[in-house]
Amino acid sequence: MRKDHRPYFVKKLQNQYVKWYTDRYLRPQFRHLGKSPALIRPWHVQVFGYSVEVGDYATIIAEPHSNVHFVSWAQADLEDLAAIMDGSDKRVDAKAKEEARALGQGLIKLGDYVLVCPGVRIQAATRITIGNGVMFAQGAYVTDADWHGIYDRCMPVGSTAPVAIGDNAWIGDHAIVCKGVTIGENSIIGAGSVVRRDVPANSIAAGNPCQVVKELDPERVVKGREAMFANHEELQKMLSAADKDAHDQNTLWGWLRYLLFPRYGD
């Protein structure tokens, strides 16, 4: 596709549907989803567990072949499984189990203004804390657990330790952030890196294992994503005007022709 052939009214209707779908079907899956989230293809965002929180003005982009996954693992379920396996299972009522699950969940907490690109997976057995304005490039993976024991392969979660990512950090394409890691504010993790140790603030790190390769210039100010949302109403007006300019000359019949009978140059 060389251009978007949708007429402006179709684009507006689709945007309204996305907002309705997000509020009706996706928002209830989060423990908290802040105000004015911008989601692209929210039906490809998968939320598992009870304790996933996202702040205000989040941008989450998903694709059919690259779903976004948030997984908050239930430690209470693991205890139930262990009890059944060793024969000591004791049945409790549904309310007690629900309370146990709420207390035993791994927590995923994302701040305001975050950007989550297609294929990102964030999986917590203990706690993953992500600051404001953090950006995740396509396919990035963050986990706070091994998910199986080194010697006991039958029982998850294995070893686990909290992960913290500071404000305005940028996690590169298909980078992996492992358990127990702290990444400082403003730091950048290079594409394909495997982060096993802490990365200090205001640095650029890359490789497997990930190592600091450069420090940011202390004389320069890092402009984070919060600057985009300083005046949210003006931003929305600007985006709407840009959409109108880009789609206003498109026609319904031209769009249908493109869908049914595409031709060279479309």
CATH number at residue 212: 2.160.10.10
**pLDDT of 134:** 98
pLDDT at 123: 97
Q: Do 42 and 125 lie in a common domain?
A: yes
User: What's residue 100's pLDDT?
Assistant: 46
Judge if 96 and 136 occupy the same domain: yes
The pLDDT value recorded for residue 186 is: 98
Per-residue DSSP letter, 27: G
Give the pLDDT confidence score for residue 77 in this predicted structure. 52
* DSSP run (H or E) holding 14: helix 8-21
Residue 95's domain spans which residues? 32-228
Say whether both 10 and 119 belong to one domain: no
Confidence (pLDDT) at 74: 77
**Domain co-membership, 200 together with 240:** no
The span from the CA of 76 to the CA of 94, in Å, is: 13
Do 207 and 136 share a structural domain? yes
Cα 215 from chain centroid? 26
Q: Are residues 165 and 262 in the same domain?
A: no
Give per-residue burial for 161-195: e unless 16+ CB within 10 Å, then b: ebbbbbbbbbbbbebbbbbbbbbbbbbbbbeebeb
Q: Which residues of 129-142 are buried (b: 16+ CB within 10 A; e: fewer)?
A: bbbbbbbbbbbbbb
pLDDT (0 to 100) of residue 56 = 97
Please give the pLDDT value at position 141.
Answer: 99
Note the helical H segments in 68-213: 75-85, 94-103
Instruction: Quote the pLDDT of residue 101.
Output: 54
One domain, residues 128 and 177: yes
Give, in order, the Cα–Cα distances in Å from 23 to each of 3, 32, 33, 128. 29, 12, 9, 24
Q: Are residue 73 and residue 137 in the same domain, yes or no?
A: yes
CA distance 78 to 140: 26
pLDDT in tens, the chain (266 residues): 688 999 999 999 999 999 999 999 999 999 999 999 999 999 999 999 989 999 999 999 999 999 999 999 876 555 554 554 444 545 444 554 454 455 567 899 999 999 999 999 999 999 999 999 999 999 999 999 999 988 888 877 888 999 999 999 999 999 999 999 999 999 999 999 999 999 999 999 999 999 999 999 999 999 999 999 888 888 888 988 998 998 889 999 999 999 999 998 88
Give the strand pairing for 188-189 and 203-206.
parallel
- 148 carries an active-site annotation: yes
Q: Which residues pair with 192 in a beta bridge?
A: none
- Which residue reads 């000359």 in tokens? 249
Can you give the pTM of this predicted structure?
A: 0.86
One domain, residues 182 and 242: no
Count of domains for the chain: 2
- Helix intervals (H) in 188-229: none
Q: Are residues 192 and 134 in the same domain?
A: yes
104, 135: one domain: yes
Residues 95 and 6 grouped into a single domain: no
Catalytic residue among 32, 148, 174, 232: 148
Residue with tokens 């031709």: 263
